């Protein structure tokens, strides 16, 4: 078989891209104080909440359980629809029940993994994952810090999401063993419990006194 020693192997290219991003490439000049901190800031964002992590890992786990082509189709669907949600959040299009949707995503996706649900048509898992991606994206979109350069932030954000899916797919590879399948189902159960917790939190928001200490610490103005 003919081989080509002239070109770097596959893993060399992600490393080259990483080097390019790490050495401070900047889309545009004019980055000011308080604006997005670039790739690292975007990369950290999806890791900032357990509800997001649980749902995204569950997508990977479910994809692994479903096998080809869901194993890559679901993780492709999620970031794309999540970006639609992010777009909506960024331009100010409201989406009701975002927090409930995020909690429900962890619960339902966890249950799918725990029950090892395998729909006959791939459209159903893709639809479910897509709908939940919309909620996650919207939450991130409304939270994104303002800035003139969103590209590095967006790339970091999307790659982090993909990394979480890849973690799920990696863990999901234990499905090859009988005991591994049980472990996967237990993981799904744990994710569903996390979803229940966040659903409960979304349905019972904390009292204002507890959630905003600075307001609680305000001293009343003495009446004269």
Partner 1 sequence: MKSPLRQWIRASLGLVVALLGATRAEAHVIASGMGSFYDGIGHFFLSPDDVLAVLALILLAGMRGSAASTRLLFTLPVAWAGAGVIGLLTTAPALSGQIPSACSILLLGLLVASDLPLATWIVMALALIAGGLHGYFNGQAMREAGVNPALIQLAGVGFTLFVLVLHLTDWIQKARRPWMRIVLRVMGSWLGAAGLLLLGWSLRTRGG
The contact set with partner 1 (CB under 8 A) reads 4, 7, 9-15, 17-29, 31, 37-41, 43-44, 72, 75-76, 79-80, 82-84, 86-92, 141, 144, 146-159, 162
Find the shortest distance in angstroms from Cβ 49 to partner 1.
18
> Least distance to partner 1 from the beta carbon of 119, Å?
21
Q: What minimum distance in Å lies between the beta carbon of 189 and partner 1? A: 28
Q: Which residues contact 78 (CB under 8 A, 6 or more apart)?
A: 56, 59, 129, 130, 132, 133, 161, 165
Rounded Cα distance, 107 and 78, in Å: 16
Nearer to partner 1, 156 or 168 (CB): 156
Q: Closest distance between partner 1 and the C-beta of residue 138, in Å?
A: 11
Q: Give me the residue label for tokens 């409201």.
A: 94
> 20 vs 200, which CB is nearer to partner 1?
20
Q: Closest CB to partner 1 among 93 and 203? A: 93
Show the tokens assigned to 73. 């189709």
Is the distance from CB of 65 to CB of 113 less than 8 angstroms? Answer: yes
Pick the closer one to partner 1 by CB: 1 or 219: 1
In our burial notation (b when 16+ CB lie closer than 10 A, e otherwise), range 109-147 reads bbbbbbeebeeeeeeebbebbbebbbbbbbbbbbebeeb
Comparing CB distances to partner 1, the nearer of 38 and 125 is: 38
Where do we find the tokens 């966890």? Answer: 110
Composition of the chain by helix, strand, coil, percent to 5: 70, 0, 30
Residue 182 to residue 198: CA distance in whole angstroms: 25
Question: Which CB atom, from 162 or from 189, has the smaller least distance to partner 1?
Answer: 162
What whole-number distance in Å separates Cα of residue 191 and Cα of residue 185? 10
State the minimum distance, in angstroms, from the CB of residue 156 to partner 1.
7
* Minimum CB distance to partner 1, residue 183 (Å): 21
């Amino acid at each position: 078989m003919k081989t080509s020693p002239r070109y770097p192997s596959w893993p060399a290219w992600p490393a080259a891209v990483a080097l390019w991003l790490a050495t401070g490439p900047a889309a545009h000049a004019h980055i000011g104080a308080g604006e997005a901190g670039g790739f690292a800031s975007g990369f950290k964002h999806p890791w900032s909440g357990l509800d997001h992590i649980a749902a995204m890992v569950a997508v990977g786990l479910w994809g692994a359980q479903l096998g080809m082509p869901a194993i890559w189709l679901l993780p492709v669907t999620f970031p794309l629809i999540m970006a639609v949600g992010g777009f909506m959040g960024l331009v100010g299009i409201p989406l009701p029940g975002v927090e409930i949707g995020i909690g429900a995503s962890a619960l339902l996706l966890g249950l799918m993994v725990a029950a090892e649900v395998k729909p006959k048509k791939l459209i159903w898992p893709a639809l479910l994952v897509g709908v939940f991606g919309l909620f996650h994206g919207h939450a991130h979109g409304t939270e994104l810090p303002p800035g003139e350069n969103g590209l590095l932030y967006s790339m970091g954000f999307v790659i982090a999401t993909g990394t979480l899916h890849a973690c799920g797919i990696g863990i999901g590879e234990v499905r090859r063993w009988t005991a591994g399948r049980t472990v996967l189902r237990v993981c799904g159960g744990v994710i569903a419990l996390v979803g229940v917790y966040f659903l409960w939190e979304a349905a019972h928001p904390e009292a204002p006194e507890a959630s905003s200490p600075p307001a609680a610490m305000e001293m009343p103005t003495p009446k004269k």
